A = this chain, B = another copy of it.
């Protein structure tokens, strides 16, 4: 009687949430310090002080309009501030008109997908990929095609990518720095991606859009530079969220940025607005629009994540685990010590180690370890990781 499709989506709770719930139960049983929960991508470092100062100042001194509806695309001053910041940092030419404020990355992505998709269109993603992509693409009646993982470096398997491209391809979604691998696409990868998309767009006589999902853009280490994709490929829609870099995941605030030179721009921006409307997003939260404008180039203390990464990477490789050293985000993507990653995670649970199997990311045989946790969680978890490795003869 009710919507079968949405019932399925809601009842098949995500594996990540399931593990998290198990963790909550175990913490109540044995104590929080005895459970090593690496399941969730919830930033562990606090929002920078500037966020707190911005909220206090806005609420104490500003007019009541801080809680009023903004235009559907967001407050003009906020959009202008963000445009200017992007121009400064990435040599772009955005104005407020190119920025559409959203309720975070999920909203940004889903709005872009809805703005582009017609029945039967195909969207391509690269494994490993964020599982919600499937939900949004299929939700609008389009088809998700996945490109096989390019292990162990997790750049792009261009051979398989070329096989997946066709006249039906409406858009390609990239997520770099990547969840779950932590990998940052190199300039070489992005250049080659742009070249192939240009070639195929020409061949098919229609644009293939590139959607970038980049909430982790500022969370990079070792001086790593994340290529700003609009500079490498014209028909790019940028999806951003302040969830990770400003540690505001619950506040649902982000944006879509579309350069004016993008093909069919004059029709695309109204389609973005129409998609936000049909999905039920009236405007992005008004107070936090102002907050992010005041903190537009701030981040939390990214160094804390770097320390966690180094500690975890060194500890695990010393114990015989295999993984690459990621340059961004806050995930380590480690090979499971048996073929079935889910079975490996079940075994890890015996030691109260909560890891996420990689199957839902379209890349079997790995586990995602979210190291956005307190440093002592990593230190204290090492004996458990050691016992787990021993079970596999390491």
Residues of A within 8 A of B (CB): 1-11, 40, 42-43, 46-47, 51-52, 55-56, 59-60, 64, 66-70, 103-104, 106-107, 109-111, 114-118, 132, 135-136, 139, 206-207, 247-252, 264, 267-289
Residues of B within 8 A of A55 (CB): 55, 59
Residues of B within 8 A of A279 (CB): 110, 139, 279-280
Contact partner, A114, options B6, B11, B111, B135, Cβ 8 Å: B6
Residues of B within 8 A of A111 (CB): 280
Residues of B within 8 A of A286 (CB): 249-251
Contact partner, A1, options B46, B68, B109, B206, Cβ 8 Å: B206
CA distance A52 to B118 in the complex (A): 45
Taking the nearest CB of chain B, how far is it from the CB of A6, in angstroms? Answer: 4
Residues of B within 8 A of A206 (CB): 1
Q: Given contacts A55-B55, A103-B103, A139-B278, is CB(A252)–CB(B10) below 8 Å?
A: no
Known pairs A2-B271, A9-B278, A103-B282; list 11 more (Cβ under 8 Å): A5-B274, A6-B115, A6-B274, A7-B270, A8-B274, A46-B64, A67-B250, A139-B278, A250-B283, A252-B284, A285-B285
* Contact of B285 with A64 in the complex, beta carbons under 8 Å: no
* Contact of B104 with A264 in the complex, beta carbons under 8 Å: no
13 residue pairs bridging A and B, Cβ less than 8 Å apart: A3-B117, A6-B271, A7-B115, A9-B273, A10-B274, A10-B276, A52-B60, A56-B60, A104-B282, A106-B281, A139-B279, A249-B282, A252-B283
The count of identical subunits is 2
Residues of B within 8 A of A264 (CB): 1-2
Q: Given contacts A132-B277, A281-B103, A287-B251, is CB(A272)–CB(B10) below 8 Å?
A: yes
CA distance A103 to B207 in the complex (A): 34
* Contact of A67 with B251 in the complex, beta carbons under 8 Å: yes
Residues of B within 8 A of A272 (CB): 10
Residues of B within 8 A of A275 (CB): 3, 6, 9-10
Taking the nearest CB of chain B, how far is it from the CB of A31, in angstroms? Answer: 19
Contact partner, A274, options B11, B250, B277, Cβ 8 Å: B11
Taking the nearest CB of chain B, how far is it from the CB of A221, in angstroms? Answer: 22
Residues of B within 8 A of A114 (CB): 3, 6
Q: Given contacts A68-B42, A116-B2, A264-B2, is CB(A280)–CB(B59) below 8 Å?
A: no
Q: Given contacts A2-B268, A117-B3, is CB(A250)–CB(B69) below 8 Å?
A: yes
A121 nearest in chain B by CB position: B3
Q: Given contacts A7-B271, A64-B47, A274-B8, is CB(A1)–CB(B207) below 8 Å?
A: yes
